[in-house]
Structure 1
Amino acid sequence: MPARILTDIEGTTTAIAFVHRTLFPFAERELDGFLRAHAAEPEVAAALREVPGDDKAAQLRAWMAADVKATPLKAIQGLIWRQGYAEGALRGHLWPDVAPALRAWHAAGVPLAVYSSGSEEAQRLLFRHSEAGNLEGLFAGFFDTRMGAKREAAAYARIAAAWGAAPADVLFLSDVAEELDAAREAGMATCQLVRPEDGTAASGRHPVARDFTEVPFAPAKG
């Protein structure tokens, strides 16, 4: 039986609509002003160096429009969201079943981690400033696309190694069947979150849960 839980965010802990109707538009709306104010700062400058072309803002907007999972874009978005959360303009959405389950697993000694296409910074911000309070401390790790693409088995093998775990000891939760396929190929256990509110369709290839209360996971008895 798996002893650890690795979870996706969008469509799994958090409504897809929150990402696409709140976070993404906020980052796009604030992009120009943010770059004018912060482009010379080390974190921002480092991300911008990875953006091709002379017109960095235009390239970032093109990536946004195409929903490209480019690491420098995710880094810039994460920094914009950091400012938004700090100013109280944003709060991280979680489905009502998520926080109680995460707290219960953590209290039972289950190591928890996140793997999302959003940057590590964005992940931490969402859980730190969530509607259910600060949940950042429940997680032992936050993994993003620096580990690899979410539909490639190698990424999950890297995460397990970085976490000091055997893949078979990890249960991966996601709404996307192709991500679950990759995790299973790497040796992880899997569960597909099929939330009616997000219109997710069960793939038939993985165990299914409608919310975190149905996730097939029992902490090991001491």
Structure 2
Amino acid sequence: MSQLKYVLDIEAHFPVAQDADSLKQHIESLVNNDIKDSVLKQLQGHIWEQGYKNGDIKAPVYPDAVEFIKRHAPNVYIYSSGSVKAQILLFEHVEGDIDLTKFITGYFDINTSGKKTEAQSYANILQSIGLGQSSADSVVFISDNEKELDAASDVGIKTFLALRPGNNPVSCVEKYTAVTDFSSI
């Protein structure tokens, strides 16, 4: 199947008219409003795959996060609203020609586990990695999103609030242990 046909097949699943302006406006709205749409994630994954394979895209991962992942392997799992495919591509093509995939045991997304703002999603992940809720406090979840931290906390997971340049402002700094550098975890 040609690249264009593949993209058009994905775009056909957006609930809007299939003209260029409607699609562009819909996609921009999803991105600007941080909507975790599975069709958008599939399209992003395909675009990113081409960019990573061509060498046009390298993932900017903080050096302390790279070291954190290496230090805690093989007990590292990634849960992102980006598709599993996109996560693997990202961690396979980190700036500095670093491939972190060999340090990551598993990946979870909204299609495999559920929405990141729902406690059941974290319970699903605990079950997937062979832990019950009684062992949840042995798992660490780091996010810059209060609703995600609330959901993970609801099942007993230990949480940290990531404070990084460029993140959206948060009002829950007193509620969660904040980290600006993962070497402190």
Question: TM-score, structure 1 length as denominator?
Answer: 0.70
State how 1:124-163 maps to structure 2 within 5 Å: 124-132=88-96, 133-146=98-111, 147-163=113-129
Of structures 1 and 2, the one with the larger relative CO (CA 8 A, separation 6+) is 1
In structure 2, relative to structure 1, the CA distance for the partners of 1:150 and 1:177 (3 Å cut) is same
State whether residues 149 and 159 of structure 2, in contact with CA within 8 Å, keep that contact through their aligned partners in structure 1.
yes
Q: Is residue 205 of structure 1 aligned with residue 175 of structure 2?
A: yes
**Kept in 2: contact 1:74–1:118 (CA 8 A):** yes
CA pair 77-61 structure 1, distance change in 2 beyond 3 A: farther
Structure 1 residue 155: deviation in Å?
Answer: 0.9
Moved more, 191-200 or 152-161: 191-200
Match of residue 146 from structure 2: 177
Mark the runs of 5 or more structure 2 residues left unpaired by the alignment: none
- Aligned partner of residue 43 in structure 2, secondary structure: helix
- 1:38 equivalenced with 2:7 (yes/no): no
Shift of 1:56: 7.3
Q: State how many pairs are aligned.
A: 175
**CA distance, structure 2, for counterparts of residue 163 and residue 38 of structure 1:** 37
Give the 3 Å change call, closer, same or farther, for CA 94–202 of structure 1 in structure 2. Answer: farther
Q: CA RMSD in A?
A: 2.5
Which residue of 129, 132, 145 maps to 1:166? 132
Matched, 1:190 2:154: no
Aligned twin of 1:55: 18
Residue 102, structure 1, aligned to residue 65, structure 2: no
Structure 1 stretches (4+) deviating beyond 2 angstroms? 35-41, 47-54, 56-61, 63-68, 195-202
